[in-house]
Amino acid sequence: MSESVQTETITKPEKNAADNTSTAKKNSILRHRKIPSADLNNKSDELIAEKTDLLSGPSNGNNDMACSLSNETNENMDIGTMAQAEFQHVAAQARDLGRKMWNVCNFHNLPQWLQDNDFLHTGHRPPLNSFQACFQSIFRIHTETGNIWTHLLGCIAFFVMTLYFASRPEEELSFQDKLVFIIYFIGAITCMGFSFVFHTVHCHSETVGKFFSKLDYCGIAILIMGSFVPWLYYGFYCEPYSWILYLILIVALGMVAMVVALWDKFSDPGLRPLRAGVFTTFGLIGVIPALHYGAVEGFFSNFTLISLGWLLLMGFLYISGALLYALRVPERFFPGRCDLLFQSHQIFHVLVILAAFVHYHGITKMAEYRLSKGECEVRPAVV
């Protein structure tokens, strides 16, 4: 094609020389455009081939390049993983430091699930979100410090008493007598232990707080049931069918109280009077067997010989504590002044411990009186 263009340019007249020259330039430009186009196609094919080799696997000639790229990628991934791990470690340290460095806060700065008593204005723990931080907080001063330590010490005291009774020789106390006392001690340990743990961890989270509040209320029911066992046993020592019947009634009512305590709304601050009413009513059921015994044995002997007066004092302490708890006295009359000491819940805890020891003293006197009288004249066997 280029040779015919040149021949036509020589044989034509001079008047067409300018046109031919222009045509030659155009062809020259076209030729120059075709050459790089072919080169680009070749290079594109080479690049595609290289990429295909890299994707399909390194060939002998590209092993070094593939290994280099692989090593680079692995190094980048290692650096990224290390950076992420380091960041997580620093974040965890910051969270731990934050838990150790927490400060008490005002009532209105608490989340709603921690707002229980608006008469306590300051000294509240914030949400800690860590069981370790919660248990470490028992050595800090805040609104729950008194509640924690009162029942923690009470739990330890009754645990020691349990060990003491269990270790007494058979000559001093029979297995059956040990058992009724130990059942009562276990009830006290359960109640105070659940209470101590609840007041320690209820600031962990809303879910944890609700779960342990249910255990706390169930512990109260267990203490009431355990309290009935010794005095029913010794009060109706020669009438086993009577005390077994009353015990079945008490256990059934205790189970009902625990079912009510498992209701999610039962722990709401507004239902504080309901909670006090449920457990007070449950405890007052003991009036029925007391009246029964008084009618049979005489009310005077109940107070003088069997020390029923100690049991009445126990009931008075329990009811007084429940009323103070329900009415939130004294902080209701001194808002913001009982945040750390002398709040109603602390007084309630102290009265529960006093009542538990008073009950122990009363059932001890009952046991001494009954055992001093010797065996019953006619005592039917219990299968």
Is residue 113 in a domain?
Answer: no
Average pLDDT in the 168-184 region?
Answer: 92
Domain holding 324, by residue range, is 129-372
Specify the pLDDT at position 15: 45
Is residue 201 in a domain?
Answer: yes
DSSP state of 123: -
The per-residue pLDDT for range 285-325, each reduced to its tens digit, is 988 888 888 787 776 666 665 667 888 899 999 999 999 99
Average pLDDT in the 107-127 region?
Answer: 97
Q: Name residues whose C-beta falls within 8 Å of residue 283's C-beta, 6 or more positions apart in sequence.
A: 224, 315, 318, 319
Instruction: Establish whether 199 is an annotated binding residue.
Output: yes
Specify the pLDDT at position 23: 52
Residue 381 in this model has a pLDDT that exceeds 80: no
Q: For residue 50, count other CB atoms closer than 10 A to its CB.
A: 13
Instruction: Establish whether 202 is an annotated binding residue.
Output: no
Average pLDDT in the 260-285 region?
Answer: 92
- Where residue 189 sits, what CATH number does that domain have? 1.20.1070
Specify the pLDDT at position 43: 46
Specify the pLDDT at position 92: 65
φ and ψ of 158, to 5 deg: -70, -25
Residue 382 in this model has a pLDDT that exceeds 80: no
Amino acid identity for residue 318 in this structure? Y
> How many alpha carbons fall within 13 Å on the CB side of residue 358?
18
> How many alpha carbons fall within 13 Å on the CB side of residue 246?
26
In the structure, what pLDDT confidence band is assigned to residue 55 with cuts at 50, 70 and 90? very low
The pTM for the full model equals 0.73
The per-residue pLDDT for range 212-230, each reduced to its tens digit, is 999 999 999 999 999 999 9
Is residue 325 in a domain?
Answer: yes
Q: Quick check: 302 and 293 in contact, CB under 8 A?
A: yes
The DSSP code sequence of 52-107 is: HHHHH---GGGHHHHHHHHHHHHHHHHHHHHHHHHHHHHHHHHHHHHHHT---B-G
Is residue 90 in a domain?
Answer: no
The per-residue pLDDT for range 132-160, each reduced to its tens digit, is 999 999 999 999 999 999 999 999 999 99
Specify the pLDDT at position 47: 47
Tell the burial category of 121 from Cβ atoms under 10 Å away from its Cβ (0-12, 13-18, 19+).
middle
Specify the pLDDT at position 296: 76
Is residue 75 in a domain?
Answer: no
Identify which has the larger pLDDT, 293 or 241: 241
Is residue 355 in a domain?
Answer: yes
% of the chain with per-residue pLDDT over 70:
72
φ and ψ of 124, to 5 deg: -85, 145
Instruction: Establish whether 151 is an annotated binding residue.
Output: no
- How many domains are there within the chain? 1
What rounded mean pLDDT belongs to the chain?
A: 81
Which secondary structure element, helix H or strand E, spans residue 237, and what is its range? Answer: none
Q: Which of 228, 365, 234 is nearest to 297 (CA)?
A: 234
Identify which has the larger pLDDT, 16 or 144: 144
| Lowest pLDDT segment from 3-7, 19-23, 78-82, 201-205 | 3-7
Q: Three-class SS of residue 124?
A: strand
Q: Which of 292, 287, 307, 285 is nearest to 242 (CA)?
A: 292
Q: Quick check: 122 and 336 in contact, CB under 8 A?
A: yes
Is residue 191 in a domain?
Answer: yes
3-state helix, strand, coil in the chain (%, to 5): 80, 0, 20
Token pair belonging to 354: 């006093």
Residue 239 in this model has a pLDDT that exceeds 50: yes
Q: For residue 208, count other CB atoms closer than 10 A to its CB.
A: 16
Amino acid identity for residue 110 in this structure? L
Q: Name residues whose C-beta falls within 8 Å of residue 272's C-beta, 6 or more positions apart in sequence.
A: 325, 326, 328
Is residue 266 in a domain?
Answer: yes
